[in-house]
Chain A
Amino acid sequence: MIYSSHSVDRKIHNIAQINESVKSLRSEFVDTRTILIKYKMESSVSRKINQMGIATSTEPPVKIIIIK
């Protein structure tokens, strides 16, 4: 009885700890994702490559499809 009560307590502390790390991992994920999205946004990519003298094309790509 006493043993199982203590073992429950131990598990609860364990769960709390794991929950905490789940939260921080989730936070880290969103944080990193935010940074990624900002980098990936076309406006920020084009701002960077503009300095290198490259601009986005104003003409669409042409896809050539060959029908057999």
Chain B
Amino acid sequence: MATTKKHIINRTYIVSILILILAVSVVFKLVNIQFVKGDYYIGLSEQNNIKNIIIPANRGSVYSSGGKLLATSVPKYDIRFDALAPSDKNFNENLTDLSNSLSEYYNKPASFYMQLLRNARESKNRYLLIARNLGYNDHLLIKNFPLFKLGSYRGGVIIEQKTKRDYPMGGVAQRTIGYERKDDQGNITRPGIDGAFGSKYLKGTDGKRLSQKIGKGQWKPIEDFNQIEPQDGLDIYTTIDVKIQDVAHFALLEQLEKFKADHGSVVVMEVSTGEVKAISNLGRTSIGTYYEKLNYAIGESHEPGSTFKLMGMVAALEDKVVDTSDVIDTEAGVLTFYGRNVRDSKRGGYGKISVAKAFEVSSNTAMVKLITDNYKENPTKFIDRLYSMGLNKTLNLPILGEGIPKITHPSDKKNWDGLDLPWMAFGYGISLTPLQTLAFYNAIANDGVMLKPRFLREVKDFDKTVEVFNKEIINPSICSKETAKKVQKMMQNVVEKKHGTAHNIYSPSFSMAGKTGTCQTEYWKESGLYISSFAGYFPVENPKYSCIVVIHKPDKKIGYYGNIVAAPVFKKIAQKIYSETAIEDRLKGIEITELESENKTHINSIENRSLMPNVTKLNLSDAIALLENLGLVVEISGNGIKINQSVKSGSKIKKNQKVILKLT
């Protein structure tokens, strides 16, 4: 017994010790995990379930001056197809219908889609791209196609949503409205207004919030302190006027297509404020269509040609070396400098003409003579005058990529030679961007006050104004008022007088003033390439808008002169604006007697409005107005002058009741 008892006790001890060791090792491991490796594991779990979620700020929108949306951020949808998700039955049943729907939507043969979907199922493609960047309405349409409408599990449709920039105006003014884009290398391109003011106003600041993962891919905030609220970007209101922009865009497009030109631009600016009302830049594609390729008006510095004669003329008048009535001999239309010729576009020249007429007929020889005769001893005086008018400086625009003007100074011995001064007189050997040229013309129309072209009106936070932009004066007086008046008269004559180079756009009903330009370009590569331009303002009295049209490389066989290629665009814009502004005719002391109408056409003349009136004797427009004012829904059928009404006169009527007027 004793031995057995001892034996049992011993065994119990062994078991207890074993259990103790087990317990101690469990406790050891627990302590080890909890305290020694604890931080590591807690970190690991937080990594998976807790993170700082970035709450993206909404980018602000870009509006036109009238409050129309030009650019805004909206969700866009990509639609993909998981070819393995649908069952065999669903797939085979719906394949034909789905292919038909897709083919109808995309205008491609149904067999193409049938093959595409079959192939995807065979190759086990679970991510077949169906459509990209769809708007909301289109995405809804595709989502309701056969098979797809069964949903993601049974139908296999995958819808991905991304926020993208959208332009409700489409391709109109796209380069100027602009965007901000990041490529795969992280390089950011920022053209246009959106790019220029993006980081300052539109972007906003992203918020941050510590959150914990919960079901369905959602995150719930852990603490309600220690977080940064996102601040949405501000909205910017531009100076672009949608109506003028529309006219400018299509007038330019029409002319580019007609002359098969390489590219062109048009800018409309308000004279008294410097606000850019419209800016359109169109470039040709390889198949002959046009789109907003580059911002030529801002970025492309080129030889201006004859439009630069204005600058030369202003300088000469301002220095009082000539006056408008002085006479110049155009010397049979040819002048020679260092063995190179300056020619007039009219063979044989214009004979002896006044300075003003030389400008109006755009005589190269007269302009060159005028400048060289007076400045050849001291070209620095002429160049300094141009510099003092700010022509050698950029406009310092917020939009990136402004072209740099080039006017060589005589002190720059390396680049200055004897040809510079005469060539400069008719716009060669120098370069300006269209917008820089326009700013100068605008200053002349504004009696010498040079304004900076502006694109922004104000910045708003919803309906609260944050910042307002006012006109910026670059130079309060680039020339005296008298000089401005003199050249204004010349520019008026360019259009008005029979001998003016742009008389072809003259209209007796409204006034325009400006200067044509036809200049050769890339003459070092091949001859026969031209830039046709027209810069000016309208109306002549109280100039409201200034405008420049530049068209590069029109087809020479169709036409290349500035007055033929570019000026009609200018006229179209001027005419549109003219025909939209009502002429006010104020009449004093006229007695108005109401005409007694034998027909009762006004709602106030109806005594009992719950009864149908007799409209058979009215004309149709009066009848519709009257019935609709009574709250009826009018439908018209047939042709003719006699009205038959479907509801008898005198019968009771209800709101929204349908009445058919049948014309015989």
Contact = CB atoms under 8 A, between A and B. Distances in A.
B1 interface: no
A57 B215 CA distance: 64
B324 interface: no
A38 B587 contact: no
B220 A8 contact: yes
Contact of A31 (B137, B169, B242): B137
A13 B219 CA distance: 9
A33 B170 contact: no
B584 A63 contact: yes
A16 B74 contact: no
Given A13-B218, A67-B587, A59 B74 contact: no
B581 interface: yes
A1 interface: no
Contact of A65 (B75, B137, B587): B587
Contacts of B170: 34, 38
A23 B127 CA distance: 24
A34 B166 contact: yes
B contact patch SS = mixed
Interface stretch (B243-251, B414-422, B432-440): B243-251
Chain B, interface size: which category? 35 or more
Contacts of A30: 69, 72, 74, 135-136, 166, 168
A23 B161 contact: yes
Contacts of A51: none
Nearest to A11: B220
Helix, strand, loop or mixed for chain A's interface? helix
A68 B587 CA distance: 9
B243 A42 contact: yes
A52 interface: no
Interface stretch (B392-400, B541-549, B572-580, B643-651): B572-580
Contact of B220 (A12, A31, A59): A12
Interface residues of A, number: 33
Interface in A19-54: 23-24, 26-28, 30-34, 37-38, 41-43
B73 to A, nearest CB: 9
A13 B138 CA distance: 27
Nearest to A41: B246
Contacts of A68: 589
Contact of A27 (B75, B215, B588): B75
A26 B73 CA distance: 9
Contacts of B218: 9, 12-13, 16
A58 B579 contact: yes
A66 interface: yes
Interface centre among B68, B74, B137 (most CB of A within 10 A): B74
Contacts of B582: 60-63
A26 B75 CA distance: 8
B579 A65 contact: no
Contact of A60 (B161, B214, B242, B578): B578
Interface of A: 8-9, 12-13, 16, 23-24, 26-28, 30-34, 37-38, 41-43, 56-68
22 contacts: A13-B216, A24-B75, A27-B75, A27-B136, A28-B137, A30-B72, A30-B74, A30-B135, A31-B74, A37-B69, A37-B169, A41-B242, A41-B246, A42-B246, A43-B246, A43-B249, A62-B583, A65-B584, A65-B585, A66-B588, A67-B586, A67-B588
- What 7 pairs between A and B have smallest CB-CB spacing? A27-B136, A34-B168, A31-B135, A28-B136, A63-B582, A30-B74, A27-B75
